[in-house]
Amino acid sequence: MRMREHDGVITTALTLLLFLSFPAFSYGLLPPRTLLSKLSKGTFLTTRELWFHQTLDHFSPHDHREFAQRYYEFVEYFEISDRPIFLVIGGESELMGIENDYVGVLAKKFGAAIVSVEHRYYGKSSPFDSLETQNLKYLSSKQALFDLAVFRQYYQNSLNAKLNGTKIENSWFVFGGSYAGALSAWFRLKFPHLTCGSLASSAVVLSVYNYTEYDQQVGTSAGAECKAVLQETTQLIEHKLASNGEELKASFNADDLERDGDFMYLVADATALAIQNGTPDKLCNPMVKTKKAGEDLVDAYAKYVKEFFFGTFGFNVQIYDQEYLKKTSINEDSSTRLWWFQVCTEVANFQVAPSNDSIRSSKLDTKYHLDLCRNVFGEGVFPDVDETNLYYGGTNIAGSKIIFSNGSQDPWRHASKQTPSTDLPSYTITCFNCAHCTDLRGCPLFPLTLEGNENYCSSPHAVRKVRLQISKHMELWLSECDAGKSYM
């Protein structure tokens, strides 16, 4: 059990600063390592770490252990102390600070404070020094939601203490994208008295066992011409893998991936993440050009992976290696192991190949994912998606005052709530490069453009339209909250 203290961790903190990670298989909101290091200081509103004591197990009557959870606060726009507090929920990766995305713009508009909490286990908020399976038993969305509720009370109380014991209840609003988007929706669902509303951006609220729609949407978003080239490329790679696998892997700088399945997962992810990020041109332009010139597609794809996916994007090979995922020491890529644990226990959304017309290799089937879960975490670890959907309701979520937003090109949108219902508005931002979390971040998903500037989206107007709706709902719900101080 590790308790991080405020003092005495300076060296550790500096070391850990180098340990930035990006969960490649995850829903992916935060930028990968090399990109983060390229980000200028100004992209964060703050990186000043703060800590508080969190309960390890919210569901045990006799376990009172605690761990230190990291959070950030930004109060520059918070001029009058009765203005709202925006809680930006940390997701499946290290939280480096509060980024200056569209939430920053909204905070300025509403005069709000922003606070953001790192998700338990990720980054520096790990309760344990070793991430062996046994120690991961408190890693779940249910515990994480309870963490947020506890934090919300803690922060409100400490704010009131700072204001000399006033008993103000600020109006809270929660935000999140991707998995954290689901948490944002679920927080409002489970703790409606603690927030006036929620923005659930590209929120993956439905757990699907065989999530074949992912690959299908990648194909649709890539467009017919590019999709056909990518399918041909996958087939050529599969043939070469069978005949001369070592040379092939070496040409991708992926010699470390002993399992062919892991290599094919890398091949599939390198395509999918270009689409999910809203950068289809980086992939499709060179591939279609190569096809037209009658040149070698496998060579061109290897070049794309090495130069763009590893180089510019900053992914590394080892996160695709199941042997690496078994490592239990906290390291620069721990997020990948942690996220796979959540995939393997709670949410699944296995990115399996559809039976027909897939881009990814048909070897990336249900068995590949289940074998990975067993191999990395041990016997008996598999996701009970029915229980997850039973607990939260999936797309039938029975909450209120939650805004759902999706990008038209995003492969995750089929596991989000795409159709509005009473008190649950849902918007789709439609444009050529509108993908994952476009409402919060603009285009592409990363590197972040300051304040989530929409001008890099192929239709800035489409983004502005949805943002206007978001702002209107927030205004209404916050005013209803202020009027009655009744959160329901």
Specify the residue, 182 or 434, whose C-beta has the smaller distance to ligand NAG.
434
Specify the residue, 160 or 312, whose C-beta has the smaller distance to ligand NAG.
160
Site for ligand NAG contains 366 (CB under 6 A): yes
Element containing residue 226 per DSSP (H, E): helix 224-251
Specify the residue, 146 or 368, whose C-beta has the smaller distance to ligand NAG.
368
List C-alpha distances in Å: 220 to 150, 201, 215, 443.
42, 21, 9, 18
Given the rule CB under 6 A, which of 52-60, 153-161, 252-260, 425-433 is the region that contacts ligand NAG? 425-433
Specify the residue, 148 or 200, whose C-beta has the smaller distance to ligand NAG.
200
3 state DSSP class of 30: coil
123 and 95 in contact (C-beta within 8 Å)? Answer: yes
3 state DSSP class of 38: helix
Please confirm, yes or no, whether 365 is among the known catalytic residues: no
Specify the residue, 3 or 161, whose C-beta has the smaller distance to ligand NAG.
161
Nearest to 4 by CA among 48, 80, 70: 70
Least Å from the CB of residue 341 to ligand NAG: 20
3 state DSSP class of 175: strand
Site for ligand NAG contains 356 (CB under 6 A): yes
3 state DSSP class of 193: helix
Cα(71)–Cα(125) distance, integer angstroms? 9
The catalytic position among 262, 410, 414, 426 is 410
Task: Give the binding-site size for ligand NAG (rule: CB under 6 A).
Answer: 12
Site for ligand NAG contains 40 (CB under 6 A): no
Residue 302 is encoded by which pair of tokens? 């290897």
- Phi, psi of 138, deg, nearest 5: -100, 10
Q: What is the DSSP letter of 64?
A: -
**Binding-site member from 11, 18, 41, 164 for ligand NAG (CB under 6 A):** 164
**Binding-site member from 191, 209, 382, 391 for ligand NAG (CB under 6 A):** 209
Given the rule CB under 6 A, which of 52-60, 106-114, 125-133, 423-431 is the region that contacts ligand NAG? 423-431
The catalytic position among 126, 178, 202, 426 is 178
Please confirm, yes or no, whether 60 is among the known catalytic residues: no
3 state DSSP class of 12: helix
Please confirm, yes or no, whether 21 is among the known catalytic residues: no
Residue 107 is encoded by which pair of tokens? 């905070």
Binding site for ligand NAG (CB under 6 A): 163-164, 209-210, 356-357, 366, 418-419, 426-428
Residues assigned a catalytic role = 178, 410, 436
